Structure 1
Amino acid sequence: MEEKNNNKFWKGFLMGAFLFFVIGALAVLGMTCFLESIAEKRGGTEPAVETTAPTSTAIAPVTIPTDKPDQPTTADPGAAETTAGEPRVIDRVRDQFLRELEDVAEIFEEAQVLPYDLSVMQQAALRKYVEQAGGDWAEYENASPDYGPEVTVIELNDPFLNRMGEIRELVDERISLTAEQKQRVEIETLKEFVAASGDLYSDYLTAEEWESTQQESDGSYCGIGVQIMQDPETMESSVTRVFNNSPAGEAGMLTGDVFKAVDGMDVTQMPLEQMVTYVRGHEGEPVTITVYRPATDQTLDITCVRRKVEVDTVIYEMLTDKIGYLQLTEFDNVTIRQTEEALEALQRSGMQKLILDLRGNPGGLLNSVLSIADYFVDRGKLIFRMDYKGGETYTEKAVEEPVFRGDMVVLVDGGSASAAEVLTGILQDYDLATVMGTTTFGKGIVQSYYDTDTGSGSIVKLTIAHYYSPLGRDFHGVGIDPDITGEDDVLTEEDELLKQAIEYLK
């Protein structure tokens, strides 16, 4: 699960006011004083959940500055270039990359609920910077720049950030990199800093990656039309759904295909959000996806032509004169409206009993799943609880009267994760449905998105809370067991579990 925090430090405003006061005092009294920057503590916004088991989508939009760089810049950490022997100043205080690292560390300190070792993260970042630039860490680990008497270094109060500044300066001396290469080194270093926390669900997203994530949660994007789930341990990214009339479907991509490369670039160990930015692009542009197909033990190159894809998250039909079928493929902003329309249409068709299919549903947004839970749970009943760092607890109750009260079966499997487990747990706890299938994925922790304070437009995703079902069950790492076990026979095209659910409701 994931939530979105839209936090802004009004540092500029506070600093400006403080400077105005001090300058006035200096003019009158002729005294000197020390200035301290004041940062307003981050606040929190209403929580929300994720789209995929290992990664996810945004809850509420973040304003991404359009007049500032989209990604961490590689501005010279010092002053303008000077000729040999002339005085030079290296100002680490104003270095945007170092500020970005500092901000990410502060976000972890404030909100990360899982344990982490900051020293391990710092060491990993130092090493990553060197190796991403093409250097040998052994040659840099104990080395220091030889600045000479003409160089003045304005240092930070943080030993790690100063050491990172030294590493960057050593790399600049020894390795020739383009501005684009330096930017990639910085981005990969920030990603490694977060990854080294050991939290498989945390990530550092560039502005471009964040924009792509927002587009998907809003129900449309320009891409190939597939739903992908990534295993957080193996990093294997496999197709869980191919949309109807999509470029991927037309090109022959199938459910179960495993992504290996995008336009020849290896993506086997690439975080999902980053990989998605390479799969998506401008309308009309081709992209070649290399996939491994386990069913036939083949590796295939599949070329798709990108176009706008409308995400239809709800599929429904009447199976008998009284039994309706409702499949939710994920929980996005559009899912609330689509689910309400589907339930109304099914009830107009005479539905008295419902099969809710959450198989392969990787999760989604918290506001979406809680709104949908309202369609089934009595007003005032607890539907959600999560515990933050420091013991703070957030709860939510159903606010509407249910629109459906009949007998219900929920179908789940190992691909039912995160928000799908939230809804399953609610319905099971209150005996509102019989759960059929196999044990669910087991993701009962909540991720949140934080925007950094450097103007880069980047986002930090990290785990900020544990989720519990209404009756206090913790399913993280273990999943939710079905009331009735059953699964499909992979050797046939028949949906045996669905047939079993129909017979159960008759």
Structure 2
Amino acid sequence: MQFKGRTVFAFVMLTMFASVLVTLTIADKLIDPKERAEAALTAAASDRASRYGLKEDELTKLNAVLELIETKYYEKVDRHELVDGAVNGMMSSLEDPYSVYMEKEVAQHFSESIEGSFTGIGAEVTMENGKIIVVAPIKGSPAERSGLLAKDVVISVNGEKLDGLSLQEAVAKIRGPKGTKAKLQVLRSGFSEPVQLVLVRDDIDVETVYANLRKDGIGVIEIRQFSLHTAERFKEELTKLEQQGMKGLVIDVRNNPGGILPVVVDIAESFLAKGQTVVQVEDRSGEREKTLSEGESKTYPISVLMNKGSASASEILAGALQEGAGAKLIGETSFGKGTVQVSYNKALGDGSLVKMTIAKWLTPNGNWIHEKGIKPDIEVQPPDLYTVARLSMSDTLQQDMLGEQVRSVQIMLHGLGYEPKREDGYFGLETKEAVKRFQSEHSLKVTGKVDVKTAEALEQAVIKWIQDENNDVQLHEAIQAAGRK
């Protein structure tokens, strides 16, 4: 598939990545002027206006409503807001969470974020059936540190409910200056009560590629997102690993929400022989166009490590390497984002832009993974400590209490080796004794009750456990797979 011009990764938000913006996206403003001479643009614009512009009766209807609002509505209104609302209405009528209108200020953030520089909580969200769904927290971000997980449903921010808001309106509630707090309330599968999370907005690490060579000769390259310079960085690190005698490779795209299409194609070509299909794109008429590799295959084994936060470009890479390079996919079923978007800003002329879904993408073998995801060859679920809800203390927890907070304490104690004997949310005698053992070993007052200090110590112990690579069972399985000939 050859797109004219450059494609951009829409990391828009100052706070959260909105998946209506984080997509495989082509920016109208970046199209090569040599390919679109001004004369051709003028002619094309005139032709489009005559073929697709509003008909007289349609224009009359819109003008009539505009006049009624401006002359009869009981409060004064901003004309620009009315026009923006009309455009928003058209995009909303598509009922596609990945097609969106961005007003000038949001569009400006979009443009700035192409380079990967932004402040916020570091997570991507989308909207499904009116609900704000987390696609993935970015590794090392406030979102990940707080325990926000893929598939969480965000229902309120700092006490303000998100019901009835558009995705952009919800994102606006979440974004804010560095150092400020965002108190999120989320619904999580397996929990009967909402989970409370407190995040401190911060600068998000823009480095996208991290690599290391293990003593056993297996290289590990983590890709956190596919931004403008990711392919370049990936190839640099891959070359270093190969020069050091790497015997096998693990590519880790867990919680990678996606990015720029040409970038992921460039990376995939590092492993696919010349002429092999990297990805297919299918337009509205069902016509398919293939992107063929210009690279070469490798002799060493490859495994791709993914989870339910691996989306879009991450899924393109996983599918391409599984079907074209014999790579083994390890971990969990991926998110399931199988569409391509194009962003247009020149057509609107006022600094705003429209981003719209224009095609499906399919794996080399023609599989469309949208809303299904890609299943791993070897499924490995993360330990409970990776998904346990963080503690939000309002009351001291003690014996005979019941609730989700107690359940989280029990899961934490169990994972850390302090066996509470149960994980059903009832604070029994065994849980009390487990709390005492934890307190004793962490120089806390031994009460058997979970107060704020004990809760904080538990949280820190869990974070330390998660950060210990020895506890990463998914990574260990991927390493084993990459070590097999």
Range into which the TM-score falls when normalised by the shorter chain: 0.5 to 0.7
The correspondence for 1:466, drawn from 357, 360, 366, is 360
TM-score (norm 2): 0.66
Partners of 1:378 and 1:401 within 8 A in 2: yes
Shift of 1:269: 5.0
2:95 maps to 198
2:439 maps to none
2:294 maps to 399
Where 2:128 maps in the other structure, the secondary structure is: coil
Where 2:475 maps in the other structure, the secondary structure is: helix
Partners of 1:293 and 1:300 within 8 A in 2: no
Partners of 1:262 and 1:287 within 8 A in 2: no
Does residue 1:497 correspond to 2:474, yes or no? yes
The correspondence for 1:233, drawn from 120, 124, 129, is 129
Partners of 1:318 and 1:351 within 8 A in 2: yes
Shift of 1:345: 3.4
Number of aligned residues: 373
Output the amino acid matched with 2:137.
R
In structure 2, do the counterparts of structure 1 residues 370 and 260 end up closer, same or farther at CA, with 3 Å as the change threshold?
same
Where 1:189 maps in the other structure, the secondary structure is: helix
In structure 2, do the counterparts of structure 1 residues 217 and 57 end up closer, same or farther at CA, with 3 Å as the change threshold?
farther
Does residue 1:312 correspond to 2:312, yes or no? no
Shift of 1:433: 0.5
Partners of 1:359 and 1:411 within 8 A in 2: yes
The correspondence for 1:337, drawn from 232, 251, 275, is 232
Does residue 1:419 correspond to 2:299, yes or no? no
The separation in 2 between residues aligned to 1:285 and 1:477, in whole angstroms, is 35
Does residue 1:172 correspond to 2:70, yes or no? yes
2:257 maps to 362
The separation in 2 between residues aligned to 1:280 and 1:61, in whole angstroms, is 24
Q: How does 1:69-468 map to 2 (within 5 A)?
A: 157-178=55-76, 180=78, 182-221=79-118, 223-238=119-134, 240-242=136-138, 244=140, 253-256=146-149, 259-261=154-156, 266-268=161-163, 270-273=165-168, 275-276=170-171, 279-280=174-175, 286=180, 288-292=182-186, 294=188, 297=193, 300=196, 302=198, 304=200, 308-401=203-296, 404-451=298-345, 453-468=347-362
Partners of 2:9 and 2:25 within 8 A in 1: yes
Output the amino acid matched with 2:57.
P
Partners of 1:408 and 1:433 within 8 A in 2: yes
Partners of 2:99 and 2:341 within 8 A in 1: yes
The separation in 2 between residues aligned to 1:310 and 1:299, in whole angstroms, is 26
Bigger relative CO (Cα 8 Å, ≥ 6 apart): 1
Q: CA offsets per residue over residues 149-197 of structure 1, 9 Å max, x none? A: xxxxxxx7432332121112112222244554x4334323322221112
Shift of 1:310: 3.7
Shift of 1:460: 1.7
Partners of 1:53 and 1:418 within 8 A in 2: no
Shift of 1:260: 4.3
Partners of 1:58 and 1:217 within 8 A in 2: no
In structure 2, do the counterparts of structure 1 residues 416 and 164 end up closer, same or farther at CA, with 3 Å as the change threshold?
same
Where 1:220 maps in the other structure, the secondary structure is: coil
In structure 2, do the counterparts of structure 1 residues 463 and 371 end up closer, same or farther at CA, with 3 Å as the change threshold?
same
Alignment root-mean-square deviation, CA = 3.7
In structure 2, do the counterparts of structure 1 residues 377 and 296 end up closer, same or farther at CA, with 3 Å as the change threshold?
same
Q: CA offsets per residue over residues 352-388 of structure 1, 9 Å max, x none? A: 2111122222221101111111211122322122122
The separation in 1 between residues aligned to 2:368 and 2:185, in whole angstroms, is 36
Partners of 1:55 and 1:273 within 8 A in 2: no
Shift of 1:409: 1.0
In structure 2, do the counterparts of structure 1 residues 382 and 466 end up closer, same or farther at CA, with 3 Å as the change threshold?
same
In structure 2, do the counterparts of structure 1 residues 303 and 444 end up closer, same or farther at CA, with 3 Å as the change threshold?
closer
Q: CA offsets per residue over residues 312-341 of structure 1, 9 Å max, x none? A: 222322343311112222211132122123
Where 1:236 maps in the other structure, the secondary structure is: strand
Output the amino acid matched with 1:336.
A
What percent identity do the matched residue pairs reach? Answer: 26
- Tell which deviates more after alignment, 456-465 or 232-241: 232-241
In structure 2, do the counterparts of structure 1 residues 304 and 500 end up closer, same or farther at CA, with 3 Å as the change threshold?
closer
The separation in 1 between residues aligned to 2:229 and 2:58, in whole angstroms, is 44
In structure 2, do the counterparts of structure 1 residues 462 and 286 end up closer, same or farther at CA, with 3 Å as the change threshold?
same
Q: CA offsets per residue over residues 23-74 of structure 1, 9 Å max, x none? A: xxxxxxxxxxxxxxxxxxxxx656677767554257465549xxxxxxxxxx
In structure 2, do the counterparts of structure 1 residues 301 and 503 end up closer, same or farther at CA, with 3 Å as the change threshold?
closer
Q: CA offsets per residue over residues 6-28 of structure 1, 9 Å max, x none? A: xxxxxxxxxxxxxxxxxxxxxxx
1:56 maps to 22
Q: How does 1:5-24 map to 2 (within 5 A)?
A: none
In structure 2, do the counterparts of structure 1 residues 227 and 56 end up closer, same or farther at CA, with 3 Å as the change threshold?
same
Output the amino acid matched with 1:457.
G
Q: CA offsets per residue over residues 442-462 of structure 1, 9 Å max, x none? A: 222212112363422222222
In structure 2, do the counterparts of structure 1 residues 212 and 62 end up closer, same or farther at CA, with 3 Å as the change threshold?
farther
The separation in 2 between residues aligned to 1:299 and 1:317, in whole angstroms, is 35
The separation in 2 between residues aligned to 1:259 and 1:217, in whole angstroms, is 25
Where 1:389 maps in the other structure, the secondary structure is: coil
